[in-house]
Structure 1
């Protein structure tokens, strides 16, 4: 037996795909909004860390640092941008010292030029209360905005990449992976692996699609198995029919040729050979008739008329016709049939045919004791027929109701059976909405258990 393949995913909530998309898009919008807020906060912190507010206190601190350390050291200690520069200006607006400035020492500012800020630079002038020179600080405005812009873009991009990676993984788990599992499962099924079973938990529509595909695959696999089994049974049936018809037909042909070719046979010999021909003809005809009846039952073309009947009286009448045969063969019988009314829908003729086949089987193989009982239990009529014979192995409890199944491997027909009796009985009982089975717990012989639903009039 093949093991069913499992294609599994982590269990997820069963919600509609439309709602899932709405949740995902809403979540993405909120995430992008949060990224924007976080970027704005990070940008503010960056600006504050890289570019401190330039006020008079700050310029005073810078002025004092210059006096102690010089322009270059003060510039580097305050971590000014590369394009910024410092100048010390005399009171007549002449450059005394400079660092990183395009103006050399001795450069003379005009008053009007000095008061106008240079393009792309933010100019801060510090005039100390007591000092020989003024301090000029030039900060590049364009570079400032470029640094801030680059930081903002870089921070936003990194955050967005991490979030999108998480979002894509989430979406993949919810939709893409189940779809891939479905595609792989369908591909496996199209290759004939109908035992494949797709397993995952995702959105409602994908779960329904998965269940429908699994049911379809199981149904196709079942139909193919039934078709293969039916084909095998058909071939076996042809073989069995040929086998069972071969012996009687050969006997008929042989003894008929003997009667025809030897006219000098005595009257007693002719009678003996004629009896053999008749017996084999009867057996062949019975086999053909059973095959015809079984075919009708299989095709549903046999006429069945179910009417309410008292099962206790019907069974008592049928069993009474076997009493003489049982006594003639020395078989003891024990019958327990209640007097209570048990109304069951029956076709009496077909029901008698089914019981006759079962009783003949018990008489042929059941030894010297036959017990039958009828009882009511939970709106069901339960008929039990048991014997003390050779019994039926458990491996044959289901097979015995198939055509031409005999427990004896040699297929001996010394009992006169056709191998179709129990198969016909099972078909008839099924048409009466009943079931027949062999009790697996009974080990002293064979016990048939037949169950019929009681009619509403019981």
Structure 2
């Protein structure tokens, strides 16, 4: 026995039912007319006949039900048909098929919610694709950035093991280079750890109520010593604002490290630091006198892996393109914000904005 059976939708069933009633009523009317030999002149007899009155009533009832079917088709079956087509498109992977029905009734509201679900599903899939792309870029970028210093370290270690280094001065230079490359690796690994934990929502901050003046003086006094033998001049506009902020000291220093490190790569002669309070927010401004950032890419510098000139920056400046993305995430984790202004040929200024803990 075949499993294929005739399947009728609800609209077809109702249409067949009404056609059957209409045919039965028509047959009943013909039966009454021929049985009683009625003609148009016998109006009185028609009005007095209970069978013909019943037939007239049934005819009116059929017309009424047909009007109901038309309304049901317009306001129920058509929207359901649109949703069925939309569901089929969604099942096939096409999330761009909209539901056009916008009726101001329960079915219309249901269609609108169904369409919102479609849009949300589409956005979710696009977000997943973007996350997957970023994950692949992360793996490719980190693999490249880890391989470079590791290859360099391996080369210097093999040179020392092979006895190529004969004098103490060259040996010290090799050891210093190895230490520099090791520090670079540690920095890359720390950036990767912070970024991935924040992406997974597993990153936490150990917030403390700290005097901003004490925190900034401790950080920049140490940083000033690092710049002592640098060709760049670190200009500290003291005294720093002394007020209370709620921060994670280690991560706040990491914010400053990443911005100062970025400024060091591009500054020509100096990096300047200012502090001020605006609307109960502490603002720390870090400005370099480098070439500046083109205006058409300024809005993207906090994007993960973004570099103004990727090939040149990776080769000459180092880094993975995660530094400023981490700065943005960490600053927002402190309920603050990071802003940047830049003018080509005159330098770039980053402003860290942290609310005061009053």
Flag whether TM exceeds 0.5 (same fold). Answer: yes
Contact 1:371 1:386 in 2 (8 A): yes
Other-structure match for 1:423: 325
* Shift in CA distance, 365/195, structure 1 to aligned 2, threshold 3 Å: farther
Other-structure match for 2:247: 346
Task: Return the alpha-carbon distance in structure 2 between the equivalents of residues 291 and 191 of structure 1.
Answer: 37
Please tell me whether residue 449 in structure 1 is matched to residue 351 in structure 2. yes
- Which structure carries more helix by proportion? 2
Contact 2:241 2:277 in 1 (8 A): no
Q: How far apart are 1:225 and its partner, in Å?
A: 1.6
Q: How far apart are 1:178 and its partner, in Å?
A: 2.5
Other-structure match for 2:185: 284
* Shift in CA distance, 207/304, structure 1 to aligned 2, threshold 3 Å: same
Other-structure match for 2:336: 434
**Matched position secondary structure for 2:148:** helix
Other-structure match for 1:261: 162
Other-structure match for 2:138: 237
Task: Return the alpha-carbon distance in structure 2 between the equivalents of residues 313 and 204 of structure 1.
Answer: 63
Q: How far apart are 1:375 and its partner, in Å?
A: 4.2
Other-structure match for 1:222: 123
Please give the per-residue CA displacement for 1:354-373, whole angstroms capped at 9, x wherever unaligned.
Answer: 11211221222133354444
Please tell me whether residue 409 in structure 1 is matched to residue 310 in structure 2. yes
Contact 2:270 2:288 in 1 (8 A): yes
Q: How far apart are 1:333 and its partner, in Å?
A: 3.5
Give the length in aligned residue pairs. 317
* Shift in CA distance, 166/362, structure 1 to aligned 2, threshold 3 Å: same
Task: Return the alpha-carbon distance in structure 1 between the equivalents of residues 316 and 237 of structure 2.
Answer: 28
Question: Any unmatched runs of 5+ in structure 1?
Answer: 1-119, 121-139
Question: Any unmatched runs of 5+ in structure 2?
Answer: 1-36
Other-structure match for 1:145: 45
Please give the per-residue CA displacement for 1:310-340, whole angstroms capped at 9, x wherever unaligned.
Answer: 4455345434443445574343647487757
The TM-score normalised by the length of structure 1 is 0.57
Task: Return the alpha-carbon distance in structure 2 between the equivalents of residues 397 and 264 of structure 1.
Answer: 46
Task: Note the 1:37-186 alignment, pairs <5 A.
Answer: 145=45, 167-186=68-87
**Matched position secondary structure for 1:202:** coil
* Shift in CA distance, 420/192, structure 1 to aligned 2, threshold 3 Å: same
Task: Return the alpha-carbon distance in structure 1 between the equivalents of residues 258 and 250 of structure 2.
Answer: 13
Please give the per-residue CA displacement for 1:22-54, whole angstroms capped at 9, x wherever unaligned.
Answer: xxxxxxxxxxxxxxxxxxxxxxxxxxxxxxxxx
Q: Point out the structure with max Rg over C-alpha.
A: 1
The TM-score normalised by the length of structure 2 is 0.70
Other-structure match for 1:51: none
Other-structure match for 1:82: none
**Matched position secondary structure for 2:181:** helix
Task: Return the alpha-carbon distance in structure 2 between the equivalents of residues 309 and 434 of structure 1.
Answer: 15
